[in-house]
Every structure is written in C-alpha cells, then in structure tokens.
Structure 1
C-alpha cells in the first residue's frame, strides 16, 4: 500500500469505494452551527464517503445527511441537550463532559452494537483531538484512547487485530455502504421526534 496515501485514500482502496461524486460540504457553515472547527482528516473522509457503514459495523456520522439518524450536527445537539438535562446520562460519559461543554466529547460514529466513538475536544487544534471509544456493554471498563486521525482509527478497526474494537478477525474483505446513495425515505422513521 502506498505510504504517501492519506488514511481516507487507504480506506477507499480497501473498501473499493468509488463515490459517484464527492460530497460538497459547506464547512464554514457546519463549523459555525457547531461552534467549533472539525479535524481536517474527518472533513476529507466526510466528503469522500458521506454517512454510512464500514463492514456493516462502524456507522459514520456526517453533517447534513438526508436522514437525521447519522447527522453529526443533529446528534451532537441531541446528546448535548440530553446530558445537560439528565445527570444520569451525563454520568455515562465521566470523567468527561459532553459537547458543547468546553473540551467535551463530540460523537462522530457509533457501531451496530452501540459502541460509541468520540473526539475529545480538549485542544484548540482539532487535528490534535484524540479519539475516545466506549463499549456499550462495558461502560465500567472506561475509555479506550487513540491518538491518530479519524480515518486511521477506522482503517485500524477494520484491519488491525490488536486495535480495541477491531473487527479484523471477522472480515477478509472490507466494504462501505452509503446511507446517502442507498437510502430510501422513510416518513415514519424520519419524523421520529427523538431524532
């Protein structure tokens, strides 16, 4: 594999992903609505892939998706409101606060098993944010930390047996299924007020 390739390019290569068109995302608008800048690598990833599932496991959230369930902005707002309103929910993320709290956790993906993947927004430079991951079925085990880009994290989850949350032992080939290109509207699901 080309060592000069970006992690997003490496993901595209191993999944065979060829988007019909690269998404155009108004990043200044997205970041203004969030009130925070986002990692450069994530922006490239979101433009190349959009929201969807890697290997039927890791569900990537991106801004302004056609459906609300994998929309980075809507989910950040919802989780922030829930954590602020209900101390029990906020306690699930200890010792960290939930975004939009300063330095809080901002979720960018989850898994079909309800594992959650966040950036710890504790630096003015989003490219330095670590990734913190939490298993849904073992919150007491605490947080797994990864110091690398979002695309590298996903790549390693798919291919590296040593990586926490790795699914490498289950797959010989890798896929990406777009929620945007393959999604048919579902009025009942899309109208759900919890999303």
Structure 2
C-alpha cells in the first residue's frame, strides 16, 4: 500500500528491477524489509524531491548502493584508530549475527535514515533517523515506504518532512545507467 502511494506521489513508472535478494540477505544474515525490496525494484537507487537519497542495491550505482555504504560504515565502526566511540552512538553499525544500524537513506542536509537490525528479531525493522538540525535519534515503528512517503508528502512530519520546502515529489535515478544524466553522488556523511 505505501509503496504504491510513493509511486503515485512521484508519478513514477516502476522499473521492475531484478535483484538476488537471497544473496544480499545471506551477506547481512537477516531479511530486509519486504517493502524496501519492492521500493528498490520500482525505483532503483536515486534522489527523491532533489534532496532525499535512497540507497538501492546495484554495484553500478556506486554511492547509491546500500551494501557498499554498509560495508564502509562497518569498516569505520570497527577501526580502532577512531577510538571506541561509534559514529552512530549509542548504537553501532550492524554486524551479521548481531544488532545494529544499516543506512538506507539520507538527505542533502545530512539527515540519516537507518534500520535497526537484530539477528535475533529478523522480521523487525524499526527505523532510526537523526536530523543534522535536531540532536538525537528518532525511532519510527513503521515501514520504510511509509516513512519515505511521510518525508516526501507531509510537511508536518517533523523534523524530516520535506513537503514544507515545496521541492516536489520527484525521483531522479542514480548514476547506474538507469536513465542517463542523474545525480552521481549523495552527500552521505
């Protein structure tokens, strides 16, 4: 239902991208949200409303590839050279078999959107988001597509709603060759 709402809001024609989700989920050790997979298959990775970066699953997308971002985040989180403090404190980046964060989106304003994954609760995918302007984490017990829809369509979805800026609910595919000249780099903190 929420995926369809995002499609209708953007006027997007679903792409029908095929992904080997079993291989992705095997690497992570947990299943991904079904609606996220549906969103990616319809849109691919790219930018909503000229400001919300949606990470997909395609090695060709470079920085729009959520697995590539997760691997980089995990590497930094594990690097003893940065001390014992995580960039996502009080949480940690998800490690297979454990509990932690996996980023699936961000904004040009350095807002970040993560799932809190827990190998012991494989069907549970709460969203943790933080705004560059407002300190601390916000937890949302809703689907990825509902959260994305609310960010794009509801001006009062504070502090993350972008409808208040009248940017439109457009979608521009990432640089994976899906539509030619799209944005090439999200501002992933």
Asked if structure 2 preserves the Cα contact closer than 8 Å seen for 1:51 and 1:65, the reply is no
Change (3 A) 1:24 1:122: same
CA distance in 2, matches of 1:126, 1:111: 27
Aligned length: 180
> Counterpart in 2 of 1:134?
130
Query: Which deviations, in whole Å up to 9, do the C-alpha atoms of 1:146-191 show, x marking residues without a partner?
Result: 1100000010011112212111112274111111323469xxx89x
Gaps of 5+ in 1: 1-5, 191-195
Q: Identify which of 145, 151, 155 aligns with 1:157.
A: 151
CA distance in 2, matches of 1:126, 1:108: 17
TM-score normalised by the chain length of structure 2:
0.85
CA distance in 1, matches of 2:16, 2:131: 32
Gaps of 5+ in 2: none
Q: CA RMSD in A?
A: 2.5
Query: Which deviations, in whole Å up to 9, do the C-alpha atoms of 1:117-138 show, x marking residues without a partner?
Result: 1001136455432101112355
Q: Which has the higher helix share?
A: 1
Does residue 78 of structure 1 match 2:72?
Answer: yes
Please give the residue correspondences for 1:50-65 in structure 2 after superposition, counting only pairs within 5 Å. 50-65=44-59
> Counterpart in 2 of 1:118?
114
CA distance in 1, matches of 2:165, 2:65: 28
> Counterpart in 2 of 1:35?
29
Question: How far did residue 34 of structure 1 move?
Answer: 2.4
